[in-house]
């Protein structure tokens, strides 16, 4: 049964963006711990969610729209898992369900008496066929949800559709939640972990839940009607078409190939990486070029460039760019050092982060947005993205101005081979 989502002062919904979200799980929390809605509406922020917290934007948005609530006082408890009861309450509030609607029939669960503060929310979501009781007859109000269970709840809630063209390593077609997880990924609610797993038995924290709900309400960032002003290069594309289809970025060139998904034989993570890195770089004040190329000395590859303009990216005047090879390893020409890998598959070319040479001792950048975007993209690319970013940035500072640098470094299961070329710093990545 398709559920109708009521607009939440969200422009994305008004523009017809896809709704989707993801449910999470948690250990037991006192059923009376959620403060009442009257008090919640007065809260402007949560005391345990700082502006630097990874999900601050998402949690704050849900608070402002009366979806996220404190568990105690002014605390959201972002790292706690979410219970079935609190998940039901959050979804009911996200959908703006009228819990007093007489069309909702009473429900009878031993663990949810009519006096329970969440009874109305649970009654509403059960009647809307979002949730149902457990095999033991109880609702399981204090039980956590697994990611697999969450996928089912969200697909049923928002009528999510699509067919994700990639497979998660730990979710075979025989898994009971396979179709739900597939639709969840196709709807861009999630695309799993860096290692191409979904981890269906993992529990979801309240912060993760908030992030999934936020994405569901806002829709795909690629659905912005103005996106062509700051993103391009993938083709073929005409105004009005969806850029992302079933959760992946497809490429094309008129008369040559259409709706092409790069092969994952050399790099099994390539399509997830293309999507995640591109998404992390999107910004209306800059330009991202994600282009499929065939270059004589390098083979087939995808270039993701971040800079000020489309023309600048095309001419190589980007701030930095990633090159993800599809059918052959990177070609350095003559190997700079014996320690350099023979099988690099990703290259990062840093042209300019606008380092302020007058403040070298303070490691100051005149345009911090460039270093932040570099960090965001490396986090999107690798599980150890923060460590890789810190190492690369230190080397970028070290070699300036025009200092020769050749170095190999292992971080996690990634080998980084670094060299300099004029004002450029180039990093080759190899999976070990």
pLDDT tens-digit map of 245-271: 899 998 877 667 678 899 999 999 999
Mean predicted confidence (pLDDT) in 172-193: 93
Average pLDDT for residues 328-334, to the nearest whole number? 86
Residues 6+ apart with CB under 8 A from 76: 46, 48, 49, 59, 63, 68, 69, 70, 206, 207
Q: What percent of the chain is predicted at pLDDT more than 90?
A: 62
pLDDT at site 412 = 96
Given a contact cutoff of 8 angstroms between Cβ atoms, the answer to whether 403 and 416 are in contact is: no
User: What local confidence, expressed as pLDDT, does residue 353 receive?
Assistant: 87
How many C-beta atoms lie closer than 10 Å to residue 341's C-beta?
A: 19
Say which range, 45-59, 215-229, 354-368, 415-429, has the weakest mean pLDDT: 354-368
Mean pLDDT of the chain, nearest integer: 85
pLDDT of residue 182 exceeding 50: yes
Q: How confident is the model at residue 402 (pLDDT cuts 50, 70, 90)?
A: low
The pLDDT confidence band at residue 42, using thresholds 50, 70 and 90, is low
| Tokens representing residue 101 in the block | 């609607």
Question: What is the per-residue pLDDT across 54-104, written as a single tens digit (0 to 9) for each?
Answer: 999 999 999 999 999 999 899 999 999 999 999 999 999 999 999 999 999
Q: Are 273 and 324 in contact (CB under 8 A)?
A: yes
pLDDT bucket at 362, cuts 50 / 70 / 90: low
Q: What is the pLDDT of residue 36?
A: 47
pLDDT at residue 239 is higher than 70:
no
- Residue 235's pLDDT band, with cuts at 50, 70 and 90, is low
Model confidence over 278-316: pLDDT tens digits? 999 999 999 999 999 888 888 899 999 999 999 999 999
CB distance 19 to 8 below 8 Å: no
Q: Does the pLDDT of residue 18 top 80, yes or no?
A: no
Q: Which residue has the higher pLDDT, 24 or 157?
A: 157
pLDDT of residue 114: 96
Give me the mean pLDDT over the 401-424 stretch.
Answer: 86
Q: Given this model, what pLDDT does residue 260 score?
A: 86
Report the candidate in 195, 215, 181 with the shortest Cα–Cα distance to residue 55.
215
Q: Report how far residue 47's alpha carbon sits from residue 302's, in angstroms, rounded to the nearest whole number.
A: 43
CA torsion 191-192-195-198 (nearest 10°) is: -140
Q: What is the value of pTM for the model shown?
A: 0.85
Q: What is the pLDDT of residue 172?
A: 96
Q: How many CB atoms lie within 10 A of CB 5?
A: 18
Is 22's pLDDT higher than 60?
no
pLDDT greater at residue 170 or residue 1: 170
For the segment 147-172, the average pLDDT, to the nearest whole number, is 90
pLDDT computed for residue 30 by the predictor: 38
pLDDT at 255: 61
Q: What is the pLDDT of residue 197?
A: 97
Per-residue confidence (pLDDT) for residue 359, from 0 to 100 = 65
287-295 and 299-307 strand pairing: antiparallel
Give the range among 13-22, 170-179, 355-364 with minimum mean pLDDT.
13-22
Residue 39 has pLDDT above 60, yes or no: no
What percent of the chain stands above pLDDT 70? 85
Domain limits of the chain? 1-219, 227-431
Residue 145 has pLDDT above 70, yes or no: yes
Return the minimum-mean-pLDDT range out of 73-87, 153-167, 361-375.
361-375
């Amino acid at each position: 049964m398709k559920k109708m989502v009521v607009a939440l002062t969200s422009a994305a919904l008004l523009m017809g963006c896809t709704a989707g979200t993801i449910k999470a799980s948690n250990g037991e929390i006192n059923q009376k711990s959620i403060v009442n809605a009257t008090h919640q509406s007065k809260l402007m922020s949560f005391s345990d969610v700082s502006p630097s917290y990874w999900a601050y934007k998402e949690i704050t948005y849900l608070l402002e729209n009366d979806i996220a609530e404190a568990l105690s006082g002014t605390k959201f408890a972002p790292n706690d898992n979410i219970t079935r009861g609190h998940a039901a309450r959050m979804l009911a509030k996200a959908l703006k369900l009228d819990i007093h609607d007489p069309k909702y029939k009473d429900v009878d669960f031993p663990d949810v008496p009519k006096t329970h503060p969440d009874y109305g929310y649970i009654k509403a979501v059960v009647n809307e066929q979002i949730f149902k009781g457990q095999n033991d007859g109880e609702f399981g109000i204090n039980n956590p949800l697994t990611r697999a269970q969450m996928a089912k709840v969200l697909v049923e809630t928002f009528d999510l559709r699509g067919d994700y063209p990639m497979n998660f390593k730990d979710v075979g077609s025989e898994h009971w939640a396979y179709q739900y997880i597939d639709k969840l990924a196709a709807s861009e609610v999630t695309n799993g972990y860096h290692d191409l797993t979904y981890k269906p038995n993992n529990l979801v924290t309240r912060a993760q839940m908030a992030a999934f709900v936020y994405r569901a309400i806002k829709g795909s960032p690629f659905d912005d009607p103005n996106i062509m002003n700051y993103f391009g290069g993938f083709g073929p594309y005409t105004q009005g078409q969806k850029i992302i289809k079933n959760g992946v970025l497809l490429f094309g060139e008129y008369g040559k190939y259409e709706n092409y998904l790069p092969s994952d034989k050399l790099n099994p993570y390539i399509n997830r990486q293309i999507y995640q890195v591109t998404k992390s770089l999107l910004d209306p004040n800059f330009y991202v070029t994600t282009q499929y190329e065939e270059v004589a000395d390098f083979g087939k590859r995808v270039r993701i460039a971040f800079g000020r303009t489309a023309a600048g990216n095309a001419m190589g005047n980007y701030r930095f760019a990633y090159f993800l090879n599809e059918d052959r390893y990177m070609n350095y020409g003559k190997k700079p050092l014996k320690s350099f890998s023979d099988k690099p598959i990703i290259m990062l070319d840093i042209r300019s982060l606008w380092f302020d040479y007058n403040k070298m001792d303070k490691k100051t950048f005149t345009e911090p947005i460039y270093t932040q975007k570099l960090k965001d993209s490396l986090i999107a690319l690798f599980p150890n993205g923060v460590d890789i970013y810190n190492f690369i940035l230190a080397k970028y500072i070290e070699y300036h101005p025009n200092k020769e640098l050749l170095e190999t470094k292992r971080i996690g299961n990634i080998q980084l081979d670094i060299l300099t070329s004029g004002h450029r710093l180039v990093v080759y990545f190899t999976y070990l």
